[in-house]
Amino acid sequence: MSTVVAAIDQGTTSSRCMLFDRQGRTRSLAQREHQQTFPHPGWVQHDADEIWRHVRRLVPEALDQARVGVRDVAALGIANQRETTVVWDRTTGRSLGPAITWQDTRTADIVAELVARGEDERIVDITGLPPHTYFAGPRLRWLLDHRPGLRDRAESGEVLFGTMESWLIWNLTGGVDGGVHVTDVTNASRTMLMDLTTFTWSDTMLDLLDVPRAVLPTIRPSGEVYGTCVGDLEGVPIAGAIGDQQAALFGQTCFTPGDAKCTYGTGAFLLVNAGTERPRPERTVLPTVAFALGDDAPVYAVEGSIAMTGSLVQWLRDSLEIIETAPQVETLARSVDDNGGCYIVPAFSGLFAPRWDPDARGTIVGLTSYIRKGHIARAALEATAWQTWEVVEAIRHDVGLDLQALRVDGGMTSNHLLMQHVADVLDVPVERPLVSETVCLGAAYLAGLTVGYWADLSTLAHHRHRAAVWRPSMDPAVRAHESAQWNRAVEHALGWVSHAT
Amino acid sequence: MTRSIQSVERATAILRLLAGAAGPLRLSEVAGTLGLAKPTAFGIIRTLRDAGFVHQDHVTSDYSLGDGVRHLHRAGIDPHDLRSLAMNWADALASRTRLEVLIAVPQRDGARIVHHVFRPDDSDQDLRVDEVLPFHATALGKVVLAFAAGIASPSPELDGYTRRTLTRRAAFDVEMTRVRERGWADEHGEFTPGVGAVSVPLRGFGGLGVGAVAVSGPLERVFHSVGAPRDEVVAATVETAAAISRSLGVRG
C-alpha cells in the first residue's frame, strides 16, 4: 500500500519536493535554489539543465527525510513557474541555451508588432490573452529568430519546446530514451498559442508567430498519467502537472465556481474558479484554465495579478529604511489608528490587473503635516488590500462571479492588519489554510486523485482545515468613502510617464 | 579574583567606538582602531549585530550602533517578527496535535496573544490575537511570568476564573516553583472550565525568554484521565518551542 504522494514545485528561485500523506499532511520537504542570470536589462534567464539536475536529486532527498522508499510513492505531481520557456535537442537531451523566464521582457518588440498589425482583437478572441511579454509563445518566436540554425532544426523535428513541466516530464520519463513530450492544459493556456475554447494549438496563432508545429508538445489534461519515471524513481507514475498559481487554487480546494484564492508574495495572484463555460472578461482580468481532470470538461479560472504587494513593504525596509524587517511594518502601522488621509499607489513599474497601465507610476497622495511614518506603513498595507478589491470588483463586473470568501496563502498572510483590511474592504471572510504550501499540495492532490490514492474532490475538500479566519467588520460608509479615495489616488498615478522626446 | 572575559571587554570597546564615531565604520576601521585581527573583530561585531546592538548597512556593509542599545530596557522581540518566524512551526504543531496553538509575549498585565492557529477540527473559532491572558490562571501566563525578562510580580489579587483557579498566593508560589523546575507549565481548567493547555518558553538571543507557545483544547485531549498532561502533547510542544527558539537565534 503506497504511503505518500510526491509533489515537485519548480519555482522561480528554487525547486522543492514535498511528500504528503493520505490526510494531506506534510511528511517532508527538500529544496534547492538555482541561478538566475540577468545578461541585459529586462532579461531574466535560468539554466534548464541545472534545474533538471536539482529536481532529480530532490525527490530522493525528500524520500530519505521521510524514511520511505520509491515503492511507497503512489504518484508524482508537478507544479511549475508558468510561461518560462525552454527549447532542447531531442537527440542529446540538452537544453539549447538558457530558459527565458516569465519576468523577461525581451519579446516587447514582437508583442508591439502584433499590436501594430491590428491583431490583438483576434488574439484575445482565440487565446483569451491580450498580447503581452508575459506569455511563452512570443519567447519561442524570439528563440527561433535569434538562435542560429534553430529554425531549420525546429522545422526538421530535431528540437522540442516546452514550459518547465514539459521539460521535467520529458526528462523524468527517459529523455532521449523514450521521454514523453507533453504539456498540461493550464500551462498551454499561458503560451498565447492555445485556443482557449478547443484546448488545442491554434493554427492562426502558429501562423501569426511563425512557429513550426513540430516543436510543440501534446496538450494533455492536468490530471492524467503522462508516463512512468525511469532512473531513481523507477516505476512512479507522473500523474499530474499544473501551473503554480492554478496549483495553489487546487491546493486551496477551490473546486466550485466562485471559489477564490489569493497568494500574497512580492506580488499577488488572485484566481477564481469560473466553471466550465469560457469566461470572456473585458481586458481587466485574464481568462485561463484552472484544471482539467482526465476526460472531464476543463474548468476555467479568471486571474488578476498585482505587480507590487510584498515588494512595497521591502521598499519601506530597504529604500526608506522606516522598518528593520518586513513583519515590523505591522508594528509601525499599528502605531496609528488609520491612514490619516494618506494613500500609496505602488505603480513602480506600471499597474497590472485590472488597470493594465504600463505608464502609471507610484504616487503618495494626501500628505499633510499630520502624516507620520506609521500612516505611510498603514497606507502601504492598505494599498495591497485595495488592489485586491479592484481585481475582485472587475471579476464581479465582467464575469458575474461574487466571492463568498477569499482563501489566502503566501508570506504576507502573517500580517494580521493586512488580512483584516482585505476582509474589511472585500466584505467577505478571509481564510488561511493549515497547510500553507498550497502549490505543492495542489500538484499532489492532482496526482493522487488521478491514481485513486484519494477517491474524489470531496475527500480532498474534507482535508482542508482553516488555521485562521478574518471576518469583515468595516462600516459600509467607511468602505464607500475609502474606496472612492483609493480610486482618486489611482487617477493620479495613471499615465504618469511622459513619452515626449 | 575571577579574571574578566576578553571578548566581552572587546565587545564593549566596539560599542563605545561605534557610539563615538562620526558615521558608519568599515570592519577594517573597527579592527584597526582597536588593534584586533579582522576575523576576531568580525566574530564579535557579527554577534553584536545578531543581538541587535550593531546595525549593518545592507548596501555598504558598514557598521553603526543598532537600535538594541537605545532600547535596552525594551527586552524581547517584535511580536510581528515572532509571528512571522513561528508561523510554519505553529501550523505544524496544530496539525500534529490536532489542538489550537497560541503564541504570547509578556506585557505588564499578562501574556498578550500574538499568534493563534485554529484547532483543525472545522469547529467555529475566532481569532484571539491581542487577548491578554492572566499570569496566574493560564499556561501561557505562567510561562511568561517564570521565564521572560522585565516582568514584575503579578498583583497580589489573584482573581478566580473557575473553581480550579489558584487564588491563594502560597499555592500559586508553589506552582511557579514547579514551572521553573520542569521548564514548562500546564493549565487544567483554571481559566475556562473544561479547557486544558501546555505551554513552553520561547527563548531569543542568549537564552532570554521572549514569549511562550502553547497548545490548548478540551481537557481530555490535553491531559490523561489521571492528572498529568499527555506525554506526546508535551513532547510536541517542547520540540516546537526549541525549533522556534533556534530560528530566533538560540544556538543548540
Tens of pLDDT, residue by residue over A104-132, are 888 888 988 999 999 999 999 999 999 88
Model confidence at A31: pLDDT above 50:
yes
Q: What is the pLDDT of residue B72?
A: 64
Q: Is A183 helix (H, G, I), strand (E, B) or coil?
A: strand
Mean pLDDT of the B50-70 span: 83
Summary mean pLDDT of chain A: 93
Quote the CA–CA distance of A54 and A69 in Å, as a whole number: 19
Q: Which of A318, A415, A465 sits opposite B120 (nearest CB)?
A: A465
Q: pLDDT band at B180, cuts 50/70/90?
A: very high
**A252-266, A463-477, B135-149: least confidently modelled range:** B135-149
What's the pLDDT score for residue B109? 87
Structure confidence at residue A124 (pLDDT): 94
Tell me whether A461 touches chain B (CB under 8 Å).
Answer: no
**pLDDT at position B59, please?**
84
List own/partner pairs for B237-241 with CB under 8 A and 24 or more apart: B237/B93, B237/B97, B237/B184, B237/B198, B237/B199, B237/B200, B237/B213, B238/B183, B238/B184, B238/B200, B240/B89, B240/B90, B240/B92, B240/B93, B240/B200, B240/B213, B241/B200, B241/B201, B241/B202, B241/B212, B241/B213
Query: Which residues of chain B have a CB within 8 Å of the CB of A469?
Result: 118, 125-127
- The average pLDDT across A168-173 equals 96
Bigger pLDDT: B4 or A89? Answer: A89
Helices A244-251, A438-450: crossing angle, 10 deg rounding: 80
Residue A84: pLDDT band with limits 50, 70, 90:
very high
pLDDT of residue B6: 85
**Min CA distance, B79 vs chain A (Å)?**
8
B92 vs A26: CB contact, 8 Å cut-off?
yes
Go through B68-101 and write b for each residue having 16 or more CB atoms within 10 A of its CB, e for each that does not.
Answer: bbeeeeeebbbbbbbbbbbbbbbbbbbbbbebbb
Residue B249 has pLDDT above 80, yes or no: no
Interface check for B58 against chain A (CB to CB < 8 A): the answer is: yes
Judge whether A278 and A289 are in contact, CB under 8 Å.
Answer: no
Nearest to B118 among A318, A331, A466 (CB): A466
B137-159 average pLDDT score: 79
According to the model, what pLDDT value does residue B250 have? Answer: 54
Look at residues A212, A275, A258 and name the one whose alpha carbon lies nearest to residue A401: A258
Cell triple for A216:
510543440
- Tell whether the model's pLDDT for residue A320 goes beyond 50: yes
pLDDT of residue A132: 87
pLDDT at residue B179 tops 80: yes
Phi-psi region for residue A83, left (φ > 0), alpha (ψ -120 to 50) or beta? left
User: pLDDT tens for residues B9-54?
Assistant: 888 888 888 888 888 889 888 888 888 898 999 989 888 887 778 8
Q: For cell 503554480, what's the residue? A: A244
pLDDT band at B205 (very low <50, low <70, confident <90, very high): confident
Using CA atoms of A272, A274, A276, A278 in order, give the dihedral in degrees to the nearest 10. -110
Q: Which of B80, B117, B127 sits opposite A327 (nearest CB)?
A: B80
Is A278 in the B-facing interface, judged by CB distances under 8 Å?
no
Complex ipTM above 0.90? no
pLDDT at A401 over 90: yes
Over residues B231-237, mean pLDDT: 95
Percent of chain A with pLDDT over 70: 99
* C-alpha cell recorded at residue B167: 487564588
pLDDT score at A501: 57
Res. B117: pLDDT tops 80: yes
B188: number of Cβ within 10 Å: 17
Phi, psi angle pair for A287, to nearest 5°:
-80, 145
Element (H, E) at B77: none
What average pLDDT does this structure show over B167-196?
92
Beta-carbon separation of B95 and A25 below 8 A = yes
DSSP state of B237: H
The pLDDT value recorded for residue B90 is 95
Backbone angles phi, psi at B116, to 5 degrees: -145, 125
> Looking at the predicted structure, is the pLDDT value of residue A428 above 90?
yes
Gap from B35 CA to chain A (nearest CA, Å):
31
Local confidence band at A49 (pLDDT 50, 70, 90 cut-offs): very high
Please check whether residue A381 is in contact with residue A418, taking contact to mean a CB–CB distance below 8 angstroms. yes
Assigned C-alpha cell, A146: 535569434
Q: Which residue of B has its CA nearest to A429?
A: B126
Question: What pLDDT is stored for residue B247 in this prediction?
Answer: 83
The three grid cell numbers given for residue A205, joined into one nine-digit string: 496563432
Q: What is the pLDDT of residue B251?
A: 46
